[in-house]
Structure 1
Amino acid sequence: MPKDRQSNAHRVRIEAADLAHSRPHPTHAANGDETRFSSACYALTFTKGLCHDVATGLVSDPTHFEAFRGAIDEGYIEAFTSRVPVPQDPKRGRRRWEAPTAGSAYDLQGPDAQAVTMPPAPAMGSSELDFELAEVYELALLRDTPLLSFDQNGGPGSGDVNDAVSRLNAMDYAKDGFPGRPRTNEGGQLTRQTVFRGSGVGVEHGPYLSQFLWIGSCDQAGSIDVGDGYISYGGQRIDQRVLRAKDGDDHMTNWQDWLDVQKGFDVNGCGSGQTLDGERCFIHRPRDLATYVHFDALYQAYLNATLILLGMGTPFDPGFAKLSGMRDMFNPLSGAAGIKQNAGGFALYGGPQILTLVTEVATRALKAVRYQKFNNHLRLRPEALAGRLARACEIDSAHPSTCGAFSSMRDRMVPTLSAIDSANPADPALPGGNLLLPMAFREGSPMHPTYGAGHATVAGACVTIVKAFFDTGTVMGANADEGCRKGKIGFYRRIEDPCYFEAVEKGKTLDKRRAECPLTLEGELNKLAANVSIGRNMAGVHYYSDYYDSLRMGEEIAIGMLQEQALCYPTDDFVLSVPTFDGDLVRIGGK
């Protein structure tokens, strides 16, 4: 009856609200560096967009930062214009802080933006902060090294990767591995096969790059194949090739450029922030991955992955495969098997539902991470911390309250910093050595704090949705089953030719290779999330902890959203099994 339906719909909404309300509301804690270094002009806090001192690179007037912090806490957009003093350049415009109040908005589905949190970021003086800044420096040095070198087989540039690994292994990571934010390693040591891969089940297998950033799918006419690198998008197609940036196209490697960027000046004008030659290639260098994450729509990689998987006919989660029509019925009483389904998935249990959810969850992730960025942590970007090291002597001399913290950090990172100083151009403004972080983008980082990372939070949320709907135990290769997909490459339960693709000839083509150990769907999705997130580190705009903790917060958001949606299915038992980034399994739904 319509009246019953009206009441039941109201009841389900209340149940979802009660479920959201019952989740423990966390305490948001920062690492204390904002207060600890307040007397040193907030040296460990995000101040980009404010006026900075030419001698130290710190904010010129601490009260300007305090006005900025006050506007954040107040939560109204107008205050950032009327109450926060900013420097002006008559020849260039200014960049705007990006959505600083988004964390105050509410949503009607999924965890509230302030109901999830992230632990304190590594603090100044910790070996973890030393190590993750060294990682960002090392990635900048390797920006034009082929990704073929980032695995056990090696390739051109393997020596450069080996040098980076040696410098990193000589640091404190080799002693304890930072158990709160582990990295994939072998026996406690980083190797070419594990370095910069992040943390998650399966990320250490196969090529550095996830297959979902290279491969395509077949089209309706049969004119393109997986290895051609085109994704069918309805009657159109998406090209997996990216615009190519010029080798050595690094920026902010002199003090004046660095200072202009910190002041928030629009150094790009009408440009893109990169020197692009108009040619396209498959991602084959860290610089290509940095380009991808410079211009992507944030859910782009996961929408593409979903289109690829749907185009391949990848099996759905076995828990609801019969609801989608992907598995024949089985009668446990009669033992009859192979009963063909007369109903399949579409608006429910099918492509449109998955494609909608994998994009819809992104907005929840962005609001939650904005609260962490602005309201909670206000962590400075790697480019700013590198600037502090470049001016360590001046800062520690002008502000005795630092107790020599920046000079000490500089002393602990000598091997990596020596390599950076050798790679950077000499700058008379930096007589003690040019330790600025070479940036892939002319404008450096975005106009918001570094922790958490928007790309990584969205990655965690979107990949969790994909893992919830598809059978993550499938492996990549040519299908061994009979039927129209026999011999076609995809992710299947049974394969006859385990294989993968890798970009060769400077990204001109994809080369099909036999896999010694088949690549799993779970591993390639985890790798996709890591690639996109750490691709931002390759550009110089994030640290490892930004990736690690943001990814897991995004996962929590997606699981919460799916748990609330599970209340909306009153008849068929819709059960999802979600493997987490840490290797656990979360089951959602069921009566």
Structure 2
Amino acid sequence: MSKNKDKPKKKSKVDESSNLKEIDSAEIGPLSALQRREAAYKIRKNAASYQKNLPLPSHPSNGDEDLFPNKIGNYSKGLPHNNLGLVDQKAYKALIKSLSTGDPENFASIPMGGSAKLSNPQSAYAYDLVGPDSHHLVIIEPPAFSSSWIASEAAEVYWQALTRDVPFSDYDTNELTLEAASDLSTFSDFRGPKEKGKITTGTLFRGNTPGDKEGPYISQFLWKDIPYGPSTIIQRYRTTIAGDDHLTLYDEWLNVQNGVKTSKKNKLDPTPRFIRNGRDLSMWVHQDFTFQSCLNACLILLSYGKEALNETNPYNGSTTEDGFITFGGPHILDLISRAARSALSASWFQKWLVHRRLRPEEFGGHLHNHMTKASNYPINKELTESKVISHVFSKYKSYLLPLAYPEGCPTHPSYPAGHACIVGAGVTMMKAFFKESFVIPAPVESSSDGLSLLPYDGSPLTIGGELNKLASNISIGRDTAGVHWRSDGFEGLKLGEAAAIGILQDFKKTYNENFAGFSFRKFDGTTIMI
């Protein structure tokens, strides 16, 4: 037996005292290890207390789920449906029970119509430890099924489908885009941008943010070369051939609603092109990864150097230091990716636990059955009397919405748009760090065939305006594909913006620099100081 077995061990200095200053250390700085630990705890606690003490939110809905027992106003893709595309009531009730309880076992027993799976509804319950909780962010209720508002949004997505192959540079002269602008101007509650109360080819399918109506339709950040480490990415992309539209046959449409996976694929154009029309944009937002548009834009912005940084950057004018880990490239890139997931969390909460709004392709099925008198639904007459409906029927022999993707929309509800939330958050982060008034050098625009970029010599294009336009392009690009509504996008941008603002609020007091705060212009045109 060892003679030291029962001998007590000598206590270390850590054991003898909680005062960490007694530990030998080479560390220097204004705070001891113990003081640093307490300061870090206080920052975390204060941030959590700030979020906790905000007023409890109310989450309004448009009331369609209660108004229509057959659930025509709600998302149900992937569940079983009858021949009219109406969801099986037992399956829908099982979905609601799962969402109400949050019980994973309930989700496992939802009756499904095919092999397609619902997209991650349980993420709606996840918590974030930085920024606002996803359940604490609010958006307005979406337009109701029978409203003139949704009628105008439906007409817009139908016109976008019909004009996918029209080059943006030809909008002022093309017969279809001229007719689309005229027709949309007749709707009583269309909420897109206008000029003197009318939609014009200069405002057609554009966003509502500051800078959206300036210059070419596509943002410079979707055209200009991207510095990518030791290489450069030229923004020519794979797209599809003209007329590659889908789900215009009723049986095919119904199978997709039931979750039956289609074997059809997009027909690809063999030649990569710069984005020059709605079809190209639709394909870009079909194949991108979560924050790709924001990553690309940030890499372009970082290549502009210090002159492009926001006036509030604490290293502006310093003769001894540059920003890097804080207020430099790694800082901005980290916040862009970090905000993307937070924005998605907020979006998925609203999608699954609040609104469950139907997708345009689902609405199109109800419209088809209404117009063919297979059923009778309270669809607003402003839509049924619109010229776009007769155009669609003349071309496709159905009233279904022509989709850019063979599989149609994703398997999660429409409102708000996830793409819009992501880009709204990322663009907000960039506006917090870069100078919005900085004029983008050597602006370009695509040729009508998408094979080359041409110099743009119009009015100056600024970082702020082109970032806002990027947000609208990514958001409205999903509308052009037929998978989202305009309100999904604009409200999604604002939700992503709110998520990003909450993150910036949490981080503001974590910096050592003399920093006055983040200042930028929001999507609604107002200026915020954090």
1:575 Cα deviation from its structure 2 partner: 1.9
Contact in 2 for aligned 1:30/1:120 (Cα 8 Å):
yes
Letter in 2 for 1:117: V
Letter in 2 for 1:266: K
CA deviations on 1:469-492 (whole Å, 9 max, x unpaired) are 000011123xxxxxxxxxxx4xxx
* Correspondence list, 1:106-117, <5 A: 106-117=127-138
SS in 2 for 1:528: helix
What's the counterpart of residue 228 of structure 1?
none
1:379 corresponds to 2:357? yes
* Correspondence list, 1:303-322, <5 A: 303-313=295-305, 314-320=307-313
Contact in 2 for aligned 1:134/1:413 (Cα 8 Å):
no
Distance 1:410 1:127 in 2: 7
| Residue 366 to residue 585, structure 1, CA distance change in 2 (3 Å) | same
What's the counterpart of residue 122 of structure 1?
143
What's the counterpart of residue 171 of structure 1?
187
Which of 329, 354, 366 matches 1:351?
329
Which of 471, 476, 496 matches 1:534?
476
What's the counterpart of residue 418 of structure 1?
390
Contact in 1 for aligned 2:155/2:386 (Cα 8 Å):
no
Aligned length: 498
1:277 Cα deviation from its structure 2 partner: 3.2
1:184 Cα deviation from its structure 2 partner: 1.7
Letter in 1 for 2:219: S
| Residue 414 to residue 186, structure 1, CA distance change in 2 (3 Å) | closer
Larger radius of gyration: 2
* Correspondence list, 1:140-539, <5 A: 140-150=161-171, 154=172, 158-173=174-189, 182-216=191-225, 231-268=226-263, 273-313=265-305, 314-320=307-313, 323-324=314-315, 327-329=316-318, 341-392=319-370, 397=375, 404-406=377-379, 408-409=380-381, 412-424=384-396, 426=397, 434-477=398-441, 489=442, 500-515=443-458, 517-539=459-481
Percent identity (aligned)? 38
1:571 Cα deviation from its structure 2 partner: 4.5
1:74 Cα deviation from its structure 2 partner: 2.0
What's the counterpart of residue 47 of structure 1?
76
CA deviations on 1:535-578 (whole Å, 9 max, x unpaired) are 00000000011011111011111011101100212442252112
Letter in 2 for 1:525: L
Distance 1:110 1:522 in 2: 24
1:69 corresponds to 2:12? no
Letter in 2 for 1:316: L
Letter in 1 for 2:267: T
Identify which range, 386-395 or 578-587, moves more after superposition.
386-395
CA deviations on 1:297-318 (whole Å, 9 max, x unpaired) are 1210111000001112252111
Distance 2:348 2:126 in 1: 10
1:101 corresponds to 2:122? yes
Distance 1:116 1:80 in 2: 25
Which of 36, 50, 61 matches 1:30?
61
1:183 Cα deviation from its structure 2 partner: 2.2
Distance 1:375 1:467 in 2: 31
Contact in 2 for aligned 1:149/1:192 (Cα 8 Å):
no
Letter in 1 for 2:271: E
Contact in 2 for aligned 1:25/1:116 (Cα 8 Å):
no
1:236 Cα deviation from its structure 2 partner: 2.9
1:467 Cα deviation from its structure 2 partner: 0.4
1:553 corresponds to 2:495? yes
Contact in 2 for aligned 1:388/1:395 (Cα 8 Å):
no
Distance 1:275 1:78 in 2: 40
1:350 Cα deviation from its structure 2 partner: 0.5
1:411 Cα deviation from its structure 2 partner: 6.3
SS in 2 for 1:28: coil
1:505 Cα deviation from its structure 2 partner: 4.8
Distance 2:274 2:468 in 1: 20
1:395 Cα deviation from its structure 2 partner: 7.7
Structure 1 stretches of 4+ moved >3 Å:
393-397, 408-414
Letter in 1 for 2:393: D
Distance 2:209 2:74 in 1: 30
TM score, norm. by length of structure 1: 0.82
1:253 Cα deviation from its structure 2 partner: 0.4
The RMSD of aligned alpha carbons is 1.7
SS in 2 for 1:143: coil
Q: 5+ residue gaps in structure 1? A: 89-93, 217-230, 330-340, 427-433, 478-488, 490-499
Q: 5+ residue gaps in structure 2? A: 1-31
Contact in 2 for aligned 1:169/1:190 (Cα 8 Å):
yes
What's the counterpart of residue 13 of structure 2?
none
1:12 corresponds to 2:7? no
Distance 1:393 1:442 in 2: 24
